[in-house]
Structure 1
Amino acid sequence: MNLLINFITSTLMKVLLVTFGDINDPTNGYLIRVSTIYKCLSKEHDVTVIQFVNSKISSDNSNKKIINVEIGKNYLSYAVKIISKSISSIKLIKSHDKVVVEGSIFLPFIITAKLLRKIVIYDTHGSIVEVSKGLKGIKNFIFRRVIGGVLDSISTKLSDVVITVSEDDAQIFRKYTRNKQKVVVVRHAVDVENIPFYEVPHERVRKVIFVGNLHSVQNYEAVKIILKVAERVKDIEFIIVGDGRELFKDYPPNVKFLGKVPSLHEYYREADVCFIPLTTGTGVKTKVLECMAYGRPVITTMKGIEGLNNVEKLDGIYLISHAEDIDEYVRLMNSLVLNKQYYNLRKYIVEKHSINSVCKSLLLLV
C-alpha cells in the first residue's frame, strides 16, 4: 500500500508511453488496452507516445505528442529499431517524469530509463511463457519460452511498478521479484458506452461470430478449431472478423472470413453467440469482454475466461472443459436454447471492466 501512495500525485506530470502499433487504430486486444491507458493518463497528465508500427501510417501533424517509428516485419528488425530508438531518445526520456512501457519487448527503454533514474511502469499484457505452454515447436520454445521468459523476468525486476491484467497473471510475475507489492492489477476495459446492447436474434444457434487478428497465434489456433466444428454443423454460419484471412485457404462453405471491418456493430447484432475456442494465450481476453458488452452469450474454454472473476457462474457463459474436443462443441451448438436477452453479461462488464473503473486504478499508480 505504501508503494501505491508514493505514486499518487495531484500535479501534472510528463509521462512517456512506449508501445507497439497505432493507438489511434486499436484493432486488437493489446492496442485496445494501450489506447485506454493513453486516454486515462491524458486526462490528468502530459503524455508523449513513442509507437512502433509495421508500416507507415498517416500522421496527425497537429499532434506532436505521438512519435511514429516504422519497423520491419521480423524479430531482428524489431530488436535493432527498439534498441537504437531507446538510445536516441535519451534526451526525450530525461525530459519526462515517468516512463510506461507496454510489454517486455521494450526492455531497452526500461534499462535506459532506469539509468536516467526515471520511474518505470511496466504493463505486462500477460506472460509470454504462459502463451508458449499451449504451443509446440522449437521456434515457440526459443522465442517465447526462453527469450520471452528472460524479457519478462528482467523487465519485472528493473521496473518500479508492474501492471498485470488479472490476479492470476500477478501471481506469475510476483515470482520474478522479491518486492511482491510492486506487482498490481489493472484490469482490461472495453468502451461500454459506445457498444450497443442487442437482443439475441434466434432461439437456436444459427450464426456465430469470432473476432480477432488471425496473425496472433492464439487466434490462429482458435480458428483452426472453428473450421473443424463448422465441418460438422453445416446449418450454422460462422463469421470470422479480423486481419489474416489469407492464412486459411480451404474451409467449409458455411464459414465467412470478412477481414478487417470498419464497425463490428452489425455483425454482433446478427450473431446469436460468440464462439471463442481458445487453447492458448494469457491474461484477460478483450474479445470475451466485448461479446458480453454486446449482450452475446459466449461459448469458450477455461483459457477464454482466464482472469475473469466468477464469470463462469453467469447465465450465457458456456464452457467447454476440453478445449480441443470437437464433439463437445458440436453437441453444445446443436442443443443450446438461447434467451432473448443477456443483460446480466453486459452488467458484469459495466461493473468490472468499464473504462472509468480502469482509469481510477491506473491514475493511482502514475
Structure 2
Amino acid sequence: MKKKVLYFMPDNPMSGKAGNTTRLNYMLSYFNENRDLDVTFVSLRDWGMWKKEEETLFYEKFPNIQLHLLDKKYKKSFIKYLFLYKIPYLFKKNSIDTTSYILRKEFSDIIKKSTFDFAIISYATWGRLINELSDSTYTIIDTHDFITAQSRHKCTIGKLFQDEISILKQYDNIWTYSVEEEYIFDQFTNKKVTLMPVSFPENLSEKKTEFKYDILYVASDNPHNIKGIQWFLKEVLPLLNNVKVHIIGKIGKAIAEDYPNVIKYGIVDDLQEFYNHARVAICPMLSGTGVKIKVLEALSYGLPVVTNRRGVDGLINKKNNGCLVSQNPVEFSKAIHQLMNDHVFYENVKMQGICYFKENHNPKIEKEILDSIFYKIYEEKNFN
C-alpha cells in the first residue's frame, strides 16, 4: 500500500531560480520518482502568483503528484477578505504566524477527504496548519530558515523566539539545513531534529580550458541579496581591475546604475552554461540566515566562491570548503584577484570545494535520509 504524503509549500516551483524554489523542485522530483508514495502538493495561488499555464507545466513535470492551489487572502469577496483575513490578522496571538482563517479552512477541507500518513509543512510561519491534521499523521516542519533571526528587527526577540519554538514543538520531526539552527532547535524543543544535507547533483565538467565569465553572481531580489550586491558594487567593484561581473537572476532589477564591467542577464534559460564556463562565483552576503543555496550550487560545479561571513552560515565546515570569506572590501577583492591570477591557489581552493561538496551534499546522502523517514518511521508507527 502506498504511503500518503501531504506536502505544503506556499511557493511556486515553476517560477524563477531562487534558493527556495530550487529546494522545492528537488523535493517534488524525489516524490515524483518514488512510486511507493502517494503525494499531494499544496501551494498558495495568490502567494506563489500561479498562472494557469504553470499548472499545466506542473503536471507535465510532476505527473505523479496531485496539485491543490489554495488562497490565503480570498480577495474575490471584500467582505470575506475584511472579516476572515484582515481583521483576524490584526489580532493574531502568535507573532510569526502567517496563516489565515480562509487558508486553514481550505486546508482542512483537503484533510477531510483523505487520511495522510505524513505531512510536511514548510516554514514555521505556516506551522499552525498542523492544527488541522489528524493525530495519527506523522508531522514534519521543514523550517528552511530561523524566522526569529530573519524578523529580529520587527519585534521583540524574546516574543519571536518563544512563538517560533512553540510552533516547532508541536511537530514530530524538525528539518533544518543549518548546523547552527540544528543546535538551537535541538536545545529548545526536545524534539527530533534532522539536519538535511541540501544536495545537488555533481555538475563537475571536464577540466576547463576556457573561461567565458570572470565572475558569476546568481541571486533573487530578496532584501539580503540587494544589501549584499549594493555593498559589492560600492566597496569592492572599484578595486577590481580588468574583470567582468556577470549577474543573473531577478537581482539585476535591483541594480539601477549601469557599470561598464557589469553585465546583467535577468533570468536565463540555461544557467548551466554560465556555471560551466565561469571562473569564480561570488556571494556578497552581509545579513540573512541559513545555508545559501547559491553557494552550494556553485560548489557543485567546482567553482571557488568568494563571500562574506553570512555566506557560509549553516555549512558544516567553515574553512577548507571552497569558500574564501572576508568582511573587508580590500581583502574580498584580493581574494578574487588571487583566484584569477594564481593557478596553483585556484586549483587548491577548487579541490577543497569539490571534496567538501562530495562529502556533505551528495544527493545519495539526502536520499538515504528521506528514505529512512518515509520507510523506517512508517514501519515503526505501523500506519495501516
Query: Smaller-chain TM-score range?
Result: 0.7 to 0.9
For the residue of structure 1 that corresponds to 2:226, the secondary structure is helix
Counterpart in 2 of 1:7? none
Of 123, 134, 137, 1:103 maps to 123
SS in 1 for 2:373: coil
Q: Deviation at 1:145?
A: 4.9
What's the offset of the Cα at 1:132?
4.6
| Residues 1:152 and 1:34: Cα distance change in structure 2 (over 3 Å) | farther
Distance 2:101 2:197 in 1: 29
Q: Could you say what secondary structure the match of 1:312 adopts?
A: coil
SS at match of 1:107: helix
Give the superposition deviation at 1:18: 0.4
Partner of 1:88: 106
Q: Relative to structure 1, is the Cα distance of residues 347 and 254 closer, same or farther in structure 2, using a 3 angstrom cutoff?
A: same
Deviation at 1:333, TM superposition (A): 2.6
1:128 CA displacement? 1.8
Could you say which residue in structure 1 is the equivalent of 2:316?
A: 309
Report SS of the residue matched to 1:67. strand
Q: 1:125 aligns with which of 144, 153, 156?
A: 144
Which gives a bigger RCO, structure 1 or 2 (Cα 8 Å, sep 6+)? 1
Q: How does 1:38-49 map to 2 (within 5 A)?
A: 38-42=28-32, 43=34, 44-49=36-41
Q: Secondary structure at the match of 2:110?
A: helix
CA contact (8 A) 1:37 1:359 kept: no
> In structure 1, what is the equivalent of residue 377 of structure 2?
none
Residue 319 of structure 2: SS of its match in structure 1? helix
200 and 88 in structure 1: CA distance in 2 versus 1, 3 angstrom threshold: same
Deviation at 1:141, TM superposition (A): 2.2
CA distance change for structure 1 residues 174 and 81 in 2, over 3 Å: closer, same or farther?
closer
Paired position in structure 1 for 2:364: 356
2:137 maps to amino acid: K
Aligned 8 A contact 1:231 1:252 in 2: no
Task: For 2:295 and 2:7, locate their aligned partners in 1 and report how far apart those are by CA, in whole Å.
Answer: 26
* Structure 1 counterpart SS, 2:365: helix
SS at match of 1:222: helix
| Structure 1 residues 199 and 217: alpha-carbon distance in aligned structure 2, compared to 1, 3 A threshold | farther
Distance 1:206 1:333, change over 3 A: farther
2:248 aligns with 241
CA distance in 1, matches of 2:48, 2:238: 35
Which structure 2 residues correspond to residues 1-366 of structure 1 after superposition, within 5 A?
12-25=2-15, 27-42=17-32, 43=34, 44-52=36-44, 53-57=47-51, 58=53, 59-60=55-56, 63=63, 65-69=66-70, 82-94=100-112, 95=114, 96-113=116-133, 117-132=136-151, 140-142=153-155, 145=157, 149=161, 151-177=163-189, 179-180=190-191, 182-192=192-202, 195-197=203-205, 199=207, 207-214=214-221, 216-228=222-234, 229-310=236-317, 312-314=319-321, 316-320=322-326, 323=327, 325-336=328-339, 337-339=342-344, 341=347, 342-366=350-374
**Displacement, 1:273?**
0.5
User: Quick one: which amino acid aligns to residue 313 of structure 2?
Assistant: E
Question: What is the SS of the residue equivalent to 1:49?
Answer: strand
Deviation per residue, 1:18-37 (Å, 9 max, x gap): 00222345622222222222
One-letter amino acid matched to 2:150 = V
Is the partner of 2:149 in helix, strand or coil? helix
Alpha-carbon RMSD across the aligned residues, in angstroms, is 3.1
| Deviation per residue, 1:130-189 (Å, 9 max, x gap) | 3356xxxxxx423x9577545522321111111111332111222432x24x12211111
Q: Among all aligned residue pairs of Structure 1 and Structure 2, give the percentage whose two residues are the same amino acid.
A: 22
What amino acid does structure 2 have at the position aligned with 1:171?
Y
Shift of 1:71: 5.8
For the 8 Å contact 2:283–2:307, the answer to whether it is kept is yes
In structure 1, give the amino acid aligned to 2:22: I
Letter of the 2:366 counterpart: V
Report the structure number with the largest CA radius of gyration: 2
1:313–1:237: structure 2 CA closer, same or farther, 3 Å change rule?
same
